[in-house]
């Protein structure tokens, strides 16, 4: 397992305890980060940002706790590895239609919108299959495997960013990758051994 410095960002959105527990099972003790200043001081090699809830609230917290500039310095200048989980993936887009229009981080040229489910109920909640095309991706161990989902919105972006898709009435983006930036719409922390495999793959990136 990696000896890298792992930061988990706590925006107070959803219970991050499951993520922390998943990492502890891998003998990883991450630093829980509450502000941009803490993040800068810790200077991590890997950042995990989980979250459940509304994109607008997440963006407000990122701004209010001075995360945005610090994150962008670490990710784009210091090449820190970043993984956004569920809500943490959605804030990577340029904008979100949830509860109006919210400007997001814009790291991924995409937009978050309500899922097109062809009549299936929302939220999309439960186990669903990940389809991964790139054998070199850190997501490939999840290919044709079921992960746990809980969401009503999903990201629409150019196929060059798409690492995995799933289907719920229609196809939607279930994972993204751009250089050192990763996002997963499902919850690896609630996906049993497959989640452990995914976290191991991400944390071993160098």
Q: Token pair for residue 49? A: 């940002």
- Give yes or no: 86 in active site: yes
d(CA 62, CA 5): 21
The SS3 call for residue 154 is strand
CA-nearest of 182, 187, 162 to 172 is: 162
Residue 130 contacts residue 143 (beta carbons within 8 Å)? yes
Please pick, among 80, 83, 86, 157, the residue that the annotation labels catalytic. Answer: 86
Please give the distance of CA 22 from its chain centroid, rounded to a whole number: 15
Considering 46, 98, 104, 189, which one is annotated as catalytic? 189
- Nearest to 99, CA basis, from 173, 172, 152, 175: 152
- Catalytic positions, written as ranges: 86, 187, 189
């Amino acid at each position: 397992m990696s000896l890298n410095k792992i930061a988990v960002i706590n925006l107070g959105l959803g219970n991050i305890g499951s993520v922390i527990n998943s990492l502890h099972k891998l003998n990883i003790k991450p630093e829980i980060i509450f502000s941009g200043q803490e993040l800068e001081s810790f200077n991590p090699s890997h950042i995990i940002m989980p979250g459940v809830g509304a994109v607008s609230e997440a963006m407000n917290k990122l701004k209010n706790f001075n995360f945005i500039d610090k994150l962008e310095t670490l990710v784009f200048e210091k090449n820190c590895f970043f993984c956004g989980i569920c809500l943490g993936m959605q804030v990577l887009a340029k904008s979100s239609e949830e509860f109006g229009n919210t400007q997001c981080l814009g790291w991924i040229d995409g937009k978050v919108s309500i899922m097109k489910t062809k009549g299936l109920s929302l939220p999309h909640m439960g186990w669903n299959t990940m389809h991964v095309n790139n054998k070199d991706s850190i997501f490939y161990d999840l290919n044709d495997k079921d992960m746990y989902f809980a969401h009503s919105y999903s990201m629409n972006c150019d196929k060059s960013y798409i690492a995995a898709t799933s289907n719920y009435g229609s196809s939607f983006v279930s994972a993204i990758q751009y250089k050192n930036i990763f996002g997963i719409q499902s919850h690896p922390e609630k996906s049993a051994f497959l989640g452990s495999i995914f976290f191991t793959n991400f944390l071993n990136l160098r």
